Every structure is written in structure tokens, then in C-alpha cells.
Structure 1
Amino acid sequence: MIISTSSAFGGRFKGLWHLLHSRRFCSIKNAGKDAKEKLTSREYFYHIDLHGRLYLEEVQPKNIATCLKDLRFLDFFFRQLRSSKGFPHSEIYPFVSPCGRELNFITADDTPLVYHTLSQIQANESSVSTDTQLIYGGSLSERFFPGAVRMCGETGRLYHPTPARFLSKGEDPNWLSKGLVLPSRLGQAVAEPICLFSAAHLA
């Protein structure tokens, strides 16, 4: 089927194609209050679900087929993750991932860090031993300590401490000190009793 760009439908198709390819990963919203700011700053808006999947905010439906999957992008995005305190929109978007002049604002169904995979990773290049690691983002990892897993008494969700770098910038520990762990990924890895805590600790 040939689509003529001179037709009304073709014009809309061409415009949509240009929008999608002008920015591979982000939905575009002007950030500045004046023309100068609009030329030098952009804001993008995302959502993270309970599985740790990242979506453009306006994407519907949100499922495994529509989430962002590029591992390099995801790793960079989650490395930059921090509280949005002091940034615009912080009352609606509690997290932000800055990228140069771009600000990626984020909402989440729970915590923005979700450990989605349990993996055995070689301790170092000269070692034959392996460490058990929790994977988040694309391929980022944090050493897994079974005794550090905690369960929320209200929701039954499991949490594990997050990488220390998320707390080195004066972040509110109630926001980024706990990463959600998907129970189906743990299997029998948690041999020690799991402590309970209140959901108020995450509020």
C-alpha cells in the first residue's frame, strides 16, 4: 500500500513518523518559560511499574510490549536517578534522571528501583568465584544479601537495600534506600527469616 504525503492521512502519518524518530526514547514537553529556555532545556515524563518497566508517560496500554528495552539507555537512566526535590514538578513527579540539559521526570507505582532478576556474576576477572547479584534497570547490579530483605506488612512486597550511591547525595532515605524485589525472582535464595516493616516507612 502506498501512502501519499499529499493526502490528509499521509500528512498526519508523516508528522507522526517525524515525531517518533526525532526523539527515540522521550516524549517531548517544553521546559522553559521563555523561548531561550525552550531552546536549551527539555523535560520528558516517564512511569515505572511494579515490574521495574519504564514507559513514556502517555503510552497506553503499559505492558511488556510497550516498555523501553534498550539496555544502555536503561542503565544510564537509572544511574542518574535521584529525588526531584528542588526540581520543577516535584509534587507530581518525585524522581528525576538528569541528562545534560534534559530532565527526565518519573512517577512510580512503588519505589523507582525494582530488582527484576537474580543472577550469578563473576566476582572479578581473576576469580572463579561468583557473587549473587540483583539486577535493576537494564543490566545494573547490586550484591544480594538475603538477610537484608524486608517485607512490608501492609502490602507483602519485598525490599532490599539500594546501591550506596543513591544515598551519597543527601537523598531522603525513605525514597531511595529500598528497592522493590520481585518475589518470583528470589525462589529459595532467601534462607533467613524476613523482617516486617510498615508501609509508612516508604511514604
Structure 2
Amino acid sequence: MARIFQRRCYTQGQYDGKFREYFYFINHEGMLFLEDSRMKNFTSAYKGIRRIFLNFFYKKLRFNETKRFEEFPYISHCGRERNYLKCDDRPIVYTQLSEDRKSLRVGQSDIFHEFQPSRLFMKESGRLYHPAPFADFALLRDKLGDQLHPRFEFDAHGFPVKFRHWNGHLVELERVRK
């Protein structure tokens, strides 16, 4: 209810004298939206022909240390633009496993990071995570987690402790909740 009465203190594309500023949101499925989009669904997400932008956006993603718009904890400097970002869970969301099963795709970009099954872990929320080069770890999209689920062995508390690799051998997970 309080969110209804919140006022935005920014305007998309505003100019601060040096930079044009834009404000984005990433959901738990790895879709990137303009923050003030009313409908945040597949049709309004950045994808497809905008991959060049997405690739650049993710490569430049950092913590927001500008002291501006602190409700947006991340920023991506793209030339004369500042792209502020807040997220549903994590700023990096892995959305897909590569065909060779050796890397994970970042959002809807063309960027892939090495897949290390032994480093997967699950939080109490039931969401699955994997290390990432930025912000320590990334969220795995629910659909990707569902795809990997049959390969896990779980402890008595329901947390994954081992992962069955495609070559058949069982891998101990490094970070196991007890």
C-alpha cells in the first residue's frame, strides 16, 4: 500500500549536465525492464535486437558508488549514459545452459560464464545460485533450476548436496546448508 504513494525522484532520460540517466529493473527470470514500465513481462523486456545494448550493459555493471539514487544499488556506465539498476534478487541472473553444458547465459545477452556444478547452492528460499564474476553470485532462473533439479541429490532437510554431471559422475557441492 505504501508503494502507491511513493514518488519517483527521477525521470527516464534525464540529463544532469554530464550524463543522461536511465533506470532499470531486473526480475528473478533475468528480464531487464525500464523501472517505470507498468507491465513487466516478456513483451516489454529488453531482448533480441537489443542484445548489443545488453552485452555492453552487463559488461559495465558495477556497484553504484555515485551517492545518487541509492535505491538503485547497481550502475552500468555506457558512454555518456548512467544506467541505474535495482533487482528482484540478484543483478546477474543465469537464464540458460549452453548447448555444450559448460557455461551459463547472463540474462538475454550473448555473455556466458563458466558453469561449475560443484559451486551451485540453494538458499532457504529454494532459489538456486551460482558464483558470478560480479556481485559474488548470481541467481539461476527458475526454469533453469527446474532443468537441473533431477541431477541433484538432497539431504534430509531438502537441500542439494551432490550434483550428477552429464558424464555420469557425482560431484560434491562445496557450499551445503546443514
TM surpasses 0.5: yes
Contact 1:116 1:185 in 2 (8 A): no
**Residue 81 of structure 1 pairs with residue 23 of structure 2:** no
Per residue, is there more helix in 1 or in 2? 1
1:109 aligned to 63, 72, 88, which one?
Answer: 88
The answer as to 2:168 corresponding to 1:181 is: no
CA shift at 1:85, angstroms? 2.1
Partner of 1:170: none
Q: CA deviation at 1:87?
A: 4.1
Distance 1:85 1:156 in 2: 31
After TM superposition, the runs of 4+ consecutive aligned structure 1 residues lying more than 4 A away are none
Structure 2 counterpart of 1:180, which letter? L
Q: Which has the higher strand share?
A: 2
**TM-score for both structures, normalised by structure 1:** 0.64
Shift of the 193–156 alpha-carbon distance from structure 1 to 2, 3 Å rule, reads farther
Deviation by residue 1:149-175 (Cα, 9 ceiling, x = unmatched): 01112x111111102xx3xxxxxxxxx
Q: 1:72 aligns with which of 49, 52, 58?
A: 52
Identity within the alignment, %: 33
Q: Deviation per CA, 1:18-74, whole angstroms, max 9, x where unpaired?
A: xxxxxxxxx734242xxxx1xx32110000000010001111210111101122111
* Match for residue 113 of structure 2 among 142, 160, 166: 142
Distance 2:12 2:126 in 1: 37
TM-score by length of 2: 0.73
How far the C-alpha of 1:117 sits from its partner, in A, is 0.1
Structure 1's unaligned 5+ residue stretches are 1-26, 122-130, 167-175, 199-203
Measured in 1, the distance between the counterparts of 2:149 and 2:97 equals: 9
Aligned length in residues: 144
1:160 is aligned to: 130
Q: Mark the CA change 1:162 to 1:42 in structure 2 (over 3 Å): closer, same or farther.
A: same
Partner of 1:30: 14
When the two chains are superposed, the root-mean-square deviation of aligned CA atoms in Å is 2.1
In the TM superposition, residue 134 of structure 1 has moved relative to its aligned partner by: 0.5
Q: Distance in 2 between matches of 1:186 and 1:53?
A: 20
- Alpha carbons of structure 1 residues 62 and 197: separation in structure 2 relative to 1, 3 Å: farther
Equivalents in 2 of 1:132, 1:94: separation in Å? 30
Instruction: Specify every segment of 5 or more residues in structure 2 that has no aligned partner in the other structure, as ranges.
Output: 1-10, 152-162, 165-170
Q: 1:62 to 1:187 in 2, by over 3 A?
A: same
Q: Secondary structure at the match of 1:120?
A: coil
Q: Name the SS of the counterpart of 2:28 in structure 1.
A: coil
Larger Rg: 1
Q: Which residue of 2 aligns with 1:151?
A: 122
Paired amino acid for 1:156: G
